[in-house]
Structure 1
Amino acid sequence: MTQAEDRILVLVPAWNESRNVGNTVREIRGASDDFDVVVIDDGSTDETADVARQAGAVVLTLPFNLGVGGAMRTGFTYAARHGYQRVIQVDADGQHDPADIMRVVEGLQSADISIGARFAEVGDYTVRGPRRWAMLVLASVVSKIARTRLTDVTSGFRAANRRAIEQYVRYYPAEYLGDTVDSLVAAVHAGLSVTQIPVAMRARVHGTPSQHPIGAAVYLFRSGFALLLAVMRNPMRRPESNASPA
């Protein structure tokens, strides 16, 4: 057994997060000695990479911005090549509490993918209006596909075991919501199981969230379209996905 097989890899996709990523990395490293931290610098134009290195993270630098999906596929490829058995994604902006990492990872004892769910009666994180309606519809449909109750299928705070890592290396879409909804539907169609662990979200320290009231209606339309594409195309990918892991 290699050293990496005993450890948990924390992947932090980051785009222009120089004001947040340093503290996020330090918090993760302080949460447990069992965590290795890799920041995927997604084509940042600020000091994200330097700040992350100074905080103690390994940094993978992409030459231009690929989005969360492209960044995470890079991270999963790194995990597979280095023999990690457990990986968890943590956002660079500090909204995911590193104190919850181990709780989410422990969900892998009963499933291949463990989601840190924001809408599971823990914390006071709320979303209103069309964006909330879209999240409810997405959760309902994906719950039926996964045959388990899921309340937050757009959460980026999620862990993967070795089977899921191998699946994500083969297929992890980069388009809008592909890194959450599409990747999850594809994994379920490939025979992987999913569970969720209730977590509380924290406020972003610096910067503004990617979504705002003006874009709520757009989110509703785009999320529905993303789910439709995921449901339509992933069954066709099933034979490839069911291939035995390397």
Structure 2
Amino acid sequence: MRQKEVLLIIPAYNEEKNIEKVMKQLAQPEIADIVDVLVMNDASSDNTNWLAKEYGCAVVTHVFNLGYGSGLQLGYKYAIRRGYSYIIQMDADGQHDVCNIPKIYQRLKEKDDDGRTPDIVLGSRFMKGSTEFEVSFAKKMAFVLFRKMLYLATGRKIADPTTGLQGLSRKAVLYYSKYNHFDDKYPDTNMITQMLLLDFKVVEIPAVMHARTSGKSMHSGLKPIWYMMRMFYSVLAVIFRCKVLKMDAGAGRIDVEREDKKYPELAEGKRS
């Protein structure tokens, strides 16, 4: 079967109650003709692994639970080695409607007035044109805090700085796939802040989202408190690294072909 231009990465942890429904939706011709699917099974103790394999997609299963960010980063390395031009990432819990996939793919290929195509396309829950999405009061406060931090650091207003529905160019994926360039646990506002400060092109489009109907969120229980504390200090660390230490300054303007030549072990799939 011919490899597609786009790889869809789905991090999954104990999602047996949701992932089969997601796989059925991804099997629709209008979606299956666009993307190859990779499920990053983060050492699930249920049947997530077997349900995903039944639908013929690629599955990578971790021996130990590594966390959401680590699963995504390993998926990025897989994508670079296989030579994919674009990556779209979505959750396995059914909250991200598959109708967003063609829209994100199209936006990744559209040039703006500056002649650049986006490096990151964010699927937003809170833009005009997005479906209504209810969140708790605590989460609303977190969104206000992270939007403000991002704006103060970058001058950009992002409606949904914690969205897990994203499309990435090969250049962004190549950067993320390298050591110490990506958060291994909660890659959200911190990573968007980082990429904006490094001059990657980030855009936002309205998205169709649904509330989780079953299973357990990774932000359940007391985890949101730890998440907010960790994200707050992570954003500060990103700002210090990018604005004070000037690490990787201008990385978003580097030509991707030049980067491929610098890291032939990562780009080997593109030439094969």
The answer, yes or no, to whether TM exceeds 0.5 is yes
Where does structure 1 lack aligned partners over 5 or more consecutive residues? none
Aligned to 1:133: 141
Aligned to 1:15: 13
Aligned to 2:96: 96
Aligned to 1:157: 165
Tell me if structure 2 keeps the 8 A contact 1:185–1:234. no
Matched, 1:173 2:183: yes
CA deviation map 1:69-107 (0-9, x unaligned): 100001000110011111110100000000111112222
Alpha-carbon distance in structure 1 between the residues aligned to 2:78 and 2:211: 30
Alpha-carbon distance in structure 1 between the residues aligned to 2:249 and 2:172: 16
Tell me if structure 1 keeps the 8 A contact 2:7–2:79. yes
Please state which structure has a larger fraction of its residues in helix: 1
Please report how far the alpha carbon of residue 57 of structure 1 lies from its aligned counterpart in structure 2 after TM superposition.
1.4
Alpha-carbon distance in structure 2 between the residues aligned to 1:153 and 1:67: 19
CA deviation map 1:176-216 (0-9, x unaligned): x3x12222222223321100011131122321333358665
Please report how far the alpha carbon of residue 28 of structure 1 lies from its aligned counterpart in structure 2 after TM superposition.
1.7
Please report how far the alpha carbon of residue 159 of structure 1 lies from its aligned counterpart in structure 2 after TM superposition.
0.5
Larger mean Cα displacement after TM superposition, 152-161 or 131-140: 131-140
Normalising by structure 1, we get a TM-score of 0.88
Tell me if structure 1 keeps the 8 A contact 2:242–2:249. no
Tell me if structure 1 keeps the 8 A contact 2:183–2:191. yes
Tell me if structure 1 keeps the 8 A contact 2:99–2:208. no
Matched, 1:73 2:73: yes
Larger mean Cα displacement after TM superposition, 129-138 or 111-120: 129-138
In 2 relative to 1, CA 17–200 (structure 1 residues): closer, same or farther, beyond 3 Å?
Answer: same
Alignment equivalent of 1:226, drawn from 223, 231, 234: 234
Alpha-carbon distance in structure 2 between the residues aligned to 1:89 and 1:138: 21
Q: Secondary structure at the match of 1:119?
A: coil
Q: Secondary structure at the match of 1:10?
A: strand
In 2 relative to 1, CA 80–218 (structure 1 residues): closer, same or farther, beyond 3 Å?
Answer: closer
Normalising by structure 2, we get a TM-score of 0.80
In 2 relative to 1, CA 106–139 (structure 1 residues): closer, same or farther, beyond 3 Å?
Answer: farther
In 2 relative to 1, CA 53–172 (structure 1 residues): closer, same or farther, beyond 3 Å?
Answer: same
Larger mean Cα displacement after TM superposition, 232-241 or 190-199: 232-241
- Taking only the aligned residue pairs, the percentage that are identical comes to 27
Please report how far the alpha carbon of residue 145 of structure 1 lies from its aligned counterpart in structure 2 after TM superposition.
4.0
In 2 relative to 1, CA 143–9 (structure 1 residues): closer, same or farther, beyond 3 Å?
Answer: farther
Q: Secondary structure at the match of 1:111?
A: coil
Aligned to 1:245: 259
Please report how far the alpha carbon of residue 62 of structure 1 lies from its aligned counterpart in structure 2 after TM superposition.
1.3
* Rg larger for: 2
Larger mean Cα displacement after TM superposition, 205-214 or 97-106: 205-214
Aligned to 2:121: 114
Name the amino acid aligned to 1:114: V
In 2 relative to 1, CA 240–196 (structure 1 residues): closer, same or farther, beyond 3 Å?
Answer: closer
What are the equivalent positions in structure 2 for 1:80-91 lying under 5 Å apart? 80-91=80-91
Please report how far the alpha carbon of residue 40 of structure 1 lies from its aligned counterpart in structure 2 after TM superposition.
0.4
Tell me if structure 1 keeps the 8 A contact 2:120–2:167. yes
Q: C-alpha root-mean-square deviation of aligned residues, in Å?
A: 2.3
CA deviation map 1:43-86 (0-9, x unaligned): 11112111101022110111111111100001000110011111
